[in-house]
Amino acid sequence: MKPMLEAFGPLDAEGWLPGALRIPSPNHDQRPASETISLLVLHAISLPPGEFGGQAVIDFFTNRLDTAQHPYYASLIDMRVAAHFFVRRDGTLVQFVSCLARAWHAGISCWRGRERCNDFSIGIELEGDDFTPFAPKQYTTLARLIERLHERFPLREIVAHGDISPGRKTDPGPYFDWSRLPPLDRRK
């Protein structure tokens, strides 16, 4: 079966994905020159927790979140984070950071003995939480995105944020269906 990639073009020379809604975030910097992008890190986020839709996640990743709008937001004051991508429940894909830059998504992290996972990973946030199944359209978009990223980068593994930050993070949580992801060993 041929992968369905028509929704997104190949990554451009600057690391942006045509077909994704581009909303640049300042929450990134340069990757170390010696690093190769080899890891995808999957996250889940909803703001406020358990509520989907709305502008809060986008505002959070672009440092425009009004922390007075909800009591939970007080815990986010002065946080500067962003993933490369955000997959909404309706399948819409937002890109905040070029894949060539180091997005601030993983925090304190370690995978297979390598610390600072932001240096060698791409972060993908899914609109969700630990208590709600993800939407079918999210899996469709995520699979297409993974295929496009794999065309450009020598990706070796896809992991959960909880895998690289155990005890600190649990996302994307128990309702994420890992069997719906395309295998990384598939070649065109």
Could you give the residue numbers annotated as active site? 125
> Rounded CA gap, 52 and 33, in Å?
37
Displacement of CA 183 from its chain's centroid (Å): 18
How is residue 138 written in tokens? 């999210």
Tell me the residue ranges of DSSP E strands in 50-176: 85-87, 93-95, 101-103, 110-111, 114-115, 121-127, 157-160
> Rounded CA gap, 140 and 136, in Å?
6
Residue 94 one-letter amino acid: V
Q: Which residues of 123-158 are buried (b: 16+ CB within 10 A; e: fewer)?
A: bbbbbbbbeeebbeebbebbbbbbbbbbebbebeeb
> Rounded CA gap, 153 and 102, in Å?
14
